[in-house]
Amino acid sequence: MLKNRPEVILMVYGKGGHAAQMARFIDRAPEELKNKQLIALTDVKTKDKLFSHQFYCVEARDKFSYIKNLVVFVLYFFWALAQMIHILSKYRVITMISTGPGVAVIPAIICRLFGIKVIYFESWSRIFTPSIAGKIMYRIANLFFIQHKSLQKFYPKSSFFGRL
């Protein structure tokens, strides 16, 4: 049963600019990626035609309230864990690609535990300082891309990709 799962690339991203970056990445992606089945794990509730299936996950934190963050993170942790168990039982994920934000952290950890390659793009809105998600994902991702050369001092082993 698990051997016959379809091979997919898991795209993990958040709403707003993160979703726009993912759409631009897919549009500019190499041909070998375009020939693969793409599924998404995102905190965006709308369905995108780019993906054969889309899974919903709550946001990893509340940007506006430090008090709510503990409850929000616990909810996110268990929700992301459940979604990843479901995804990994239904699909054979060969790579995870993320444009952030924090919604990518738990799926990335789980992917790495299963030997799945993780690729992360630091947000294009980060020009002078790293994001919280970026600081965490820099330690998790197999490939870490920055979109502004000014971030190279924070992420010395990153690769410059340019703006999406």
Q: What is the CATH number of the domain that holds 121?
A: 3.40.50.2000
Asked if residue 109 lies in contact with residue 140, where contact means CB atoms within 8 angstroms, the answer is yes
Nearest to 142 by CA among 87, 84, 88, 98: 98
Asked if residue 76 lies in contact with residue 46, where contact means CB atoms within 8 angstroms, the answer is no
CA atoms of 161 and 153, how far apart (whole Å): 15
Could you tell me how far CA 57 lies from the centroid of its own chain? 11
pLDDT tens, 22-58? 988 888 888 877 788 999 999 887 777 788 889 988 7
Q: What is the pTM of this model?
A: 0.89
Please give the average per-residue pLDDT across 59-76, as a whole number. 76
Nearest to 27 by CA among 53, 48, 44, 56: 48
Asked if residue 28 lies in contact with residue 114, where contact means CB atoms within 8 angstroms, the answer is no
What are the phi and psi torsion angles at 142 (to 5°)? -75, -40
Q: Which domain holds residue 68?
A: 2-160
CA atoms of 86 and 89, how far apart (whole Å): 5
What are the phi and psi torsion angles at 155 (to 5°)? -125, 75
Number of domains forming the structure of the chain: 1
pLDDT tens, 101-156? 889 999 999 999 999 999 999 886 777 888 888 999 999 999 999 988 998 999 99
